[in-house]
Amino acid sequence: MKEIVQTGLIGVTGYAGAELARLLLHHPRLKGKPPVFAGRVDAKDAARGGVPLGEIHPELVDSKGSGSLKQEPFSWELLKERGVEVLFLATPHEQSREWVPDALDRGIRVIDLSGAWRLNEASNRAVYAFEDDGTELAAATQDRAVYGMPELHRKQIAKALLVANPGCYATSVILPLKPLVAAGLVNLDHGIVADAKSGVSGAGKAPTAKTHFMYAADNLSAYGVFAHRHTGELLEQIGVTAGEIVFAPHLLPIPRGILSTIYVHFKEAQTRASVGALYKKFFAESPMVRLYENGLPQIQNSVRTCYADIGFHLDASGKRAVIVSCLDNLLKGASSQAVQNLNVMHGWPESEGLE
């Protein structure tokens, strides 16, 4: 267990980057060790040493001087000089593909929030069309990556040099389904339907025709059906084939939050007690998962928290279930899960700085 760790964050300007900065700045284990913020800085701002955090995200200004910390021009020399040991990348996928091998070569452990290293199967990675896929370096880097969902891979994450933080939709579907599928309860011949809905921030900070106010407000739209890039994560982590699950994402006219409604058939009749006991056993050591004893989760109860909420109902026969999973796409779906991984990597309590 290491008591003092110097972190670095590239990509603080985005929505997830802002939440990650907030969590790291207030993490009890990192007091007196603020992250090194680095990124693209134009010549004018470089002349003044970088861009103050308070100008990028005014909400991060506090009495401890956090607002005066600067995003400095990125260089490996900067990270070495500041003694960065763990580097968070809240960067585009292609940028992470370029920088992660360099970081590992320099002995820096990486927690990557992009989709660059989440997928082991080439067929699943094809949706990203990575230019370097298939190269020796990319294959060697992928072999070192651990899928960063502590509830599934806690032991591997503890030793990992590269943690590939899961996607937000993927987290909301994998967590409620994995215990049931792993236990052999689900009748995969009937198929699984995962109907997921996310707030607009899940699309990132850069505006597009379908995420600006005039399109998203007072609207609900499906997109990426049978083609969403998170689908591969579901297949690999849950252990199902593409023919056994339908994943249908939707855009909600709200800023943040995900609600996934999942429909399954069981091989044999179950009771609320039997399914509840299975979930409790599976998540017994998982402090960031909240199981609903009664009722179903709602976005308003999970948004701006670091928890994944799971609840379910069975039909009268006990052979069909509707499972509802909720989380904040910027927190448990991104930044707080990254900090959860940091905690696991250093032997700290998994929920430290998150509750």
C-alpha span between 30 and 24 (Å, rounded): 7
The kind and range of the H/E element at 155 are helix 150-159
Q: How many CB atoms lie within 10 A of CB 260?
A: 28
- Catalytic residue, chosen from 89, 100, 160, 168, is 168
Task: Reply yes or no on whether 306 is catalytic.
Answer: no
DSSP 8-state symbol, 186: B
Which residue do the tokens 């909600």 mark?
252
Q: Which tokens sit at 247?
A: 């994943």
Helix (H/G/I), strand (E/B), else coil: 123: helix
- How remote is the C-alpha of 299 from its chain's centroid? 17
Q: Per the structure block, which two tokens stand in for 153? A: 């891979």
Structure tokens at 14: 């985005």
Cα-to-chain-centroid distance, residue 225: 20
Relative orientation angle of helices 168-182 and 150-159, to the nearest 10 degrees? 100
Work out whether strand 289-291 and strand 36-39 pair parallel, antiparallel, or are unpaired: unpaired
Q: How many angstroms separate the CA atoms of 149 and 279, rounded?
A: 16
Distance CA 294, CA 314 (A): 12
Q: Are strands 109-112 and 86-89 parallel, antiparallel or unpaired?
A: parallel
Which helix (H) or strand (E) segment holds residue 178: the answer is helix 168-182
Residues with catalytic annotation? 168
